[in-house]
Each structure stands twice: as structure tokens, then as C-alpha cells.
Amino acid sequence: MTYTTTIQPVSSLPVELDPSRLPAHLAIIMDGNGRWAEQRKMPRTVGHAQGARTLKNILTCCDEWGISALTVYAFSTENWRRPLDEVNYLMSLFERMLAQELEAMHDRGVKLQFLGDLTGLPISVERAVRKAIELTQHNRGIAFNVAMNYGSRSEIVETCRILAARVQAGQLELGEIDEVTFGRELSDGLAPDLLIRTSGEMRLSNFLLWQLAYTELYFTDTLWVDFDRAALLKALLEYQGRQRRFGGLGGAV
């Protein structure tokens, strides 16, 4: 899926930003909630709760500034290895926040989509997710993609299986499988323009490995809880200062 930047009125966008050069699709690895809480001698769950509020604010900011799509890494397939109490809290928090914010997001025209194996989530969470998808599927505002129980390697393997089954069934010729065909099957071809990872970590952690092939990467020491509009502005300004060549010599800025 290709997103285009929606140019917002000047009044809604910081004057430092060029509205024609915003990333149409922003991806974020939200990292550092637990460390934020531990630094303050608080339970890690407090950090996760604060991080959910940060996400709400950043989603609103992206919507107001004319970014067409936001994809966030909410819970990876590897996160099940965390302590059971923390995992249970994260699932409960996600379900609660979705229940509290769904109607407001729907009213703003947000289109909610989810990446990952939803069947691996607790039943009540899966039901809440599918309700959100159904309610917002026809909305035409910002696309809000949430990666839940998501792992990019598993996604790539599953895509290979799907395409192989189609070839075996005579529905697809082997020669028809190319990057475009594969990409369309893979999370509907999501291709972020900019990836932000907070908390000082500099790795992709099994997130959108195929889709990030030509994405600009931005790493910041700021913990996710503290990532506000000023921090997002700083990231976007750096993005606008880069030249994207996509393997060529000229390319678009």
C-alpha cells in the first residue's frame, strides 16, 4: 500500500517543516518504557501506561501534521518471553486503551489495521482488535497500523507458504512471483518512509525487515515516554535534510 502526504494548513504544522516533504508513512519502535519507570523506582507497568499516553499524543500529532500513516511496534512475538505479570498487564492495557479510545479515533476518521498473528492473542484482545478493524475499515483519515504478536521473519515465511500453495494449486505461475507480488502479500506492501526507534537501541528487532529496505532510519536516546511533539519535530527535520536516492545517484529528496 502506498501512502501520500496530506498537506495540512500552515497553522497546523510547525513553520520549520516543509509540508511537501513530510514522510507519508512513519514507523516507530516504541522502546524504553520499562527503563523509564525503573529510573524512577516505579514498577515497569507504570512506564507502559505512560507510554500508551505518549502513543495517543503522537498519533494525534501525526494526524494534525498531515502524515498519512503511522505504524507502531506494540508487541513482538519475542515479547512473550517477558515475565508473565508484565505480559498480562500489557494485554490488559492494550484492551483497555482500545476500548477507551476506539470511538474517538473512529470519529476522527482513523483507520485501524493490525499486523501479526491475531489468533495468538488472548480471546478478549482478539475480539477487541477485530471490532476495531470492522468499525474503522471504511475511514479515510490517518491509517494507524499496530503490530501485535508480530515478527517479520515469521511474516516472510508465511508469505512464502501462501505463494507456494497458490503455485501448487495452479492459481499462480512460479515466474509471476517477483518483488511486487511478494510485497503486496506481505502486510499489503507497507513501506515506511521513516523509522524512528527510541531509547538509544540501534537495531530493527525483527520489525518490517522486508518493508524497511529503503526506509530512512532515525535513532534517539529519548525514552518512549518522553518522546513528545518536540522530539518528533526534531526527527522530521533530520529526515527532511536527507536525500533519498533509492540506489541511484540523483533520486528525490
Q: Which residues are catalytic?
A: 31, 79
The type of residue at 76 is S
Q: For the purposes of burial, counting CB atoms within 10 Å of the CB of 253, is it exposed (0-12), middle (13-18) or buried (19 or more)?
A: exposed
H/E element, 194:
strand 194-197
Q: 126, 114 in Cβ contact below 8 A?
A: no
Residue whose C-alpha is closest to residue 215's, from 241, 189, 244 = 244
Q: 187, 208 in Cβ contact below 8 A?
A: yes
Dihedral, CA of residue 150, residue 94, residue 47 and residue 45, to nearest 10: -100
Residue whose C-alpha is closest to residue 39's, from 200, 198, 223 = 223
Dist. CA 89–CA 74, nearest whole Å: 13
Dist. CA 151–CA 149, nearest whole Å: 7
From residue 15, how far is each of 25, 101, 113, 237 by CA, in Å?
A: 20, 30, 31, 11
As given in the structure block, the three cell numbers for residue 38 are 525503573
Dihedral, CA of residue 119, residue 121, residue 125 and residue 129, to nearest 10: -50
